[in-house]
């Protein structure tokens, strides 16, 4: 066998082979991608997530990178074939006690092995660069999709809300990018090795008598039958892992979320001494995580037990088949070892698909979870909402209807106009729909219909009972939703004094968990400082002074009126002391009825 191996012309033959293999692989990959994205559900999910990244109109980099990695994979497969022939020469020389042939084969092997190592290291580096870049792009893409049209908030109202979007964006995106690479490139590598080493095995195999018949090229046939039967059984054993992996992600995320909630509400829980209830709730979630972990472990045990047995048996299989021909002098020792190597390669390549079943199960779960998030975002953006149009100088509401999810009316046909400097106070019994009216005006409530014209974008500010304080410095909290650098030191200090938070003036750039440090009343005062610094045209105040005493409430409203005389104010509040600061009163009377009166 090895006598015919012509090393002098091999570099030319290898180059030609690599070129042909490149063209065939790129074409084969294109057809495979077309087929899976057309005929399988997971293929269509992959297309949805991956095609925008590979769009050549966006950038040609990703496609070029894939071609480069394919080229390197092909080159390393070719080098593996050459190495197997070089090793055949080494063992044949040993068998013939030919020292000179032995050392020259070792030198050749060393050169080929060095090229192989260089090729596979370069491929590894490119793969890392490729997957990190893809992950970065997709994370950005998913975050944009989640934020667009306020889907992150409105998705709670869709028919099938998704759990833990945070985990989907952080973990599933990473898994998707890494496994898309490893599964696809692994398949290409396995397919190339399969073809190349089947050819090697073909040349080395001879007829074997089976049940009285001479089976030609028996080594090739037996290897294929062996691995294909094993793969079919493994698919059956491993199939439930897809659903179990899906559950695993969801259950761990919901356990983690319960822990985070406990941390976030630690003070309230500690006041109540609610540890027993919290512990029970955590235990329930964790028990579900562990039950699922055991089901996965037992299923994996079966799959791994089967895979290991198949792999062990495969170690001796080629020697057993080739031994009679070696003893008969039909083949050399080098041929026997090369058979074992080639069988190992064919076996590993075919087994790649069997062994990848586990990863593929996790991969499909990640695809399901990511596309479900995109669907929920899409549905959230399509939820009905009132028409909100821009009006630079007034708040005009026409025929606004607001109802609860159970179709109970909260407000029927509200029509009103407010001009600069005017202020509306909304009152009503608890649950009558005051906050929901503000949500509808902000376009955050899907169960509403009508037209609202108001200053949009940064010219409207909403302040709730507990104003949102973002992570970061006090300056960030003061400027929100504008960037912190827009607020000058002098202005920030002055406003802090105005809202009686002067003691914080030297901590403007201190990064801290401000929503935990500041008392509710201090947080509400900070909210008023934010209004004064942002200077909106319209401000919605939903019980924004509930935690301060009447005197301070008076001072805060007076500040707004003095500093922002043209600003329109819509307040929700219960105290009669608020009446003096509003030009109009709206009373929500229940069952959709309302009454409007000037102050």
Ligand X SMILES: Nc1ncnc2c1ncn2[C@@H]1O[C@H](COP(=O)(O)OP(=O)(O)OP(=O)(O)O)[C@@H](O)[C@H]1O
The residues, ordered by sequence, that sit 6+ positions from 488 with a Cβ below 8 Å of its Cβ are none
Q: What's the rounded Cα separation, in Å, for the pair 107 and 112? A: 9
Selection from 126, 118, 136 nearest residue 75 by Cα: 118
The CA R_g of the chain, rounded to the nearest whole Å, is 35
Minimal distance, residue 404 CB to ligand X, in Å: 5
If the CB atoms of residues 242 and 586 are measured against ligand X, the closer one turns out to be 586
If the CB atoms of residues 152 and 235 are measured against ligand X, the closer one turns out to be 152
DSSP string, 394-453: -EEEEEEEEE-TTS-EEEEEEEEEE-TT-EEEEEESTTSSHHHHHHHHTT--SSEEEEEE
If the CB atoms of residues 411 and 532 are measured against ligand X, the closer one turns out to be 411
- CA 441 from chain centre, in angstroms, equals 32
If the CB atoms of residues 156 and 170 are measured against ligand X, the closer one turns out to be 156
* E strand or H helix that includes residue 395: strand 395-403
- CA 153 from chain centre, in angstroms, equals 18
If the CB atoms of residues 337 and 432 are measured against ligand X, the closer one turns out to be 432
Minimal distance, residue 376 CB to ligand X, in Å: 16
If the CB atoms of residues 149 and 446 are measured against ligand X, the closer one turns out to be 446
Minimal distance, residue 527 CB to ligand X, in Å: 17
Residues at the contact surface with ligand X, assessed by CB under 6 A: 404-405, 410, 428, 430-436
Minimal distance, residue 480 CB to ligand X, in Å: 23
Minimal distance, residue 465 CB to ligand X, in Å: 8
Q: What's the rounded Cα separation, in Å, for the pair 466 and 545? A: 9
- CA 74 from chain centre, in angstroms, equals 31
If the CB atoms of residues 149 and 573 are measured against ligand X, the closer one turns out to be 573
DSSP string, 512-541: E-HHHHS-HHHHHHHHHHHHHHH--SEEEE
DSSP string, 90-116: HHHHHHTT-HHHHHHHHHHHHHHHHHH
Residue 281 and residue 257 in contact, taking contact as beta carbons nearer than 8 Å: no
Minimal distance, residue 543 CB to ligand X, in Å: 7
523: left (phi over 0), alpha (psi -120 to 50) or beta: alpha
If the CB atoms of residues 31 and 591 are measured against ligand X, the closer one turns out to be 591
Minimal distance, residue 173 CB to ligand X, in Å: 28
Determine the 3-state secondary structure of 408 from DSSP.
coil
């Amino acid at each position: 066998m090895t006598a015919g191996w012509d090393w002098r012309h091999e570099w030319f033959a290898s180059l030609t082979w690599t070129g042909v293999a490149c063209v065939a692989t790129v074409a084969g990959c294109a057809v495979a991608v077309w087929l899976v994205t057309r005929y399988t559900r997971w293929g269509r999910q992959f297309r949805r997530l991956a095609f925008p990244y590979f769009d050549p109109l966006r950038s040609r980099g990703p496609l070029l990178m894939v071609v480069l990695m394919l080229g390197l994979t092909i080159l390393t497969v070719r080098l593996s074939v050459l190495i197997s022939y070089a090793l055949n020469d080494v063992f044949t020389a040993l068998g013939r006690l030919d020292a000179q042939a032995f050392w020259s084969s070792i030198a050749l092997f060393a050169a080929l092995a060095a090229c192989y190592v260089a090729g596979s290291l370069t491929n590894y580096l490119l793969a890392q660069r490729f997957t990190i870049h893809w992950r970065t792009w997709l994370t950005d893409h998913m975050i944009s999709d989640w934020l667009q049209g306020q889907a992150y908030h409105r998705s709670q109202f869709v028919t099938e809300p998704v759990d833990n979007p945070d985990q989907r964006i952080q973990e599933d995106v990473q898994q998707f990018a890494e496994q898309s690479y490893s599964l696809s490139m692994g398949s290409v590598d396995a397919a190339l090795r399969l073809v190349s080493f089947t050819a090697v095995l073909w040349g080395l195999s001879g007829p074997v008598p089976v049940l009285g018949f001479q089976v030609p090229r028996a080594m090739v046939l037996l290897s294929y039958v062996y691995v294909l039967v094993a793969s079919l059984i493994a698919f059956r054993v491993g199939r439930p892992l897809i659903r179990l992996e899906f559950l695993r992600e969801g259950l761990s995320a919901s356990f983690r979320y319960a822990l985070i909630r406990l941390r976030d509400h630690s003070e309230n829980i500690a006041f109540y001494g609610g540890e027993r209830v919290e512990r029970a709730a955590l235990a329930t979630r964790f028990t579900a995580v562990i039950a699922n972990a055991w089901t996965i472990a037992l299923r994996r045990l079966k799959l791994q037990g089967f895979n290991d047995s198949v792999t062990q048996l495969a170690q001796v299989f080629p020697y057993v088949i080739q031994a009679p021909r070696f003893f008969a002098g039909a083949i050399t020792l080098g041929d026997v070892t090369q058979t074992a190597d080639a069988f190992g390669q064919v076996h590993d390549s075919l087994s790649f698909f069997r062994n990848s079943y586990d990863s593929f199960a996790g991969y499909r779960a990640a695809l399901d979870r990511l596309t479900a998030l995109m669907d929920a975002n899409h549905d959230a953006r399509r939820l009905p909402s009132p028409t909100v149009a821009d009006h630079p100088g007034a708040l005009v509401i026409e025929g606004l209807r607001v109802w609860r999810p159970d179709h109970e009316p909260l407000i029927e046909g509200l029509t009103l106009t407010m001009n600069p400097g005017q202020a509306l106070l909304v009152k009503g019994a608890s649950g009558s729909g005051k906050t929901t009216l503000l949500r509808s005006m902000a376009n955050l409530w899907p169960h509403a219909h009508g037209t609202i014209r108001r200053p949009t974008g940064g010219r409207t500010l909403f302040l709730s009972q507990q104003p949102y304080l973002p992570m970061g410095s006090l300056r960030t909290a003061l400027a929100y939703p504008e960037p912190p650098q827009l607020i000058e030191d002098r202005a920030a200090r002055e406003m802090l004094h105005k809202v009686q938070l002067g003691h914080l003036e030297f901590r403007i750039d201190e990064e801290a968990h401000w929503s935990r440090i500041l008392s509710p009343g201090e947080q509400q005062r900070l909210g008023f400082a934010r209004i004064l610094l942002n200077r909106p045209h319209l401000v919605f105040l939903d019980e924004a002074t509930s935690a301060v005493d009447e005197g301070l409430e008076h001072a805060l409203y007076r500040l707004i009126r003095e500093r922002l005389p043209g600003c329109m104010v819509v307040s929700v509040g219960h105290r009669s002391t608020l009446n003096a600061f509003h030009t109009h009163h709206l009373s929500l009377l229940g069952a959709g009825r309302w009454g409007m009166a000037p102050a």
